[in-house]
């Protein structure tokens, strides 16, 4: 799923994690455990205002997420 700004995508994984990948650098820039470990993320849906999204998985949970903007310095300090 494309994220606001269209430079990143959100990936739902079979291990329950959500990953943000940069399309510019072709790297994973963030990983969070979104659903129970070893439970697949099945679906993701952006809200109409593009400020948040929902994810659903095989753990039978729906998670609500809001975006947090990070500046370039914060992103580079994680490397």
Give all domains of the chain, ordered by start, each with its CATH number. Answer: 8-69 (2.40.10)
pLDDT for the residue numbered 67: 83
Band (75; pLDDT cuts 50, 70, 90)? low
Distance in angstroms (rounded) separating the CA atoms of residues 56 and 50: 17
Q: Residue 76, SS3? A: helix
Written as six digits, the tokens of 58 are 């095989």
Written as six digits, the tokens of 3 are 């994220």
Distance in Å from the first CA to the final CA of the chain? 24
Q: Hey, CA dihedral for 68, 71, 77, 79, is it positive or negative?
A: positive
Q: What is the pTM of this model?
A: 0.78
% pLDDT > 70, the chain: 86
Distance in angstroms (rounded) separating the CA atoms of residues 11 and 29: 11
């Amino acid at each position: 799923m494309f994220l606001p700004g269209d430079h990143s995508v959100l990936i739902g994984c079979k291990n329950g994690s959500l990953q943000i990948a940069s399309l510019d650098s072709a790297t994973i820039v963030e990983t969070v455990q979104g659903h129970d470990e070893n439970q697949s993320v099945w679906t993701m849906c952006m809200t109409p205002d593009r400020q948040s999204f929902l994810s659903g998985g095989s753990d039978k949970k729906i998670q609500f997420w809001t975006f947090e903007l990070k500046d370039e310095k914060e992103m580079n300090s994680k490397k």
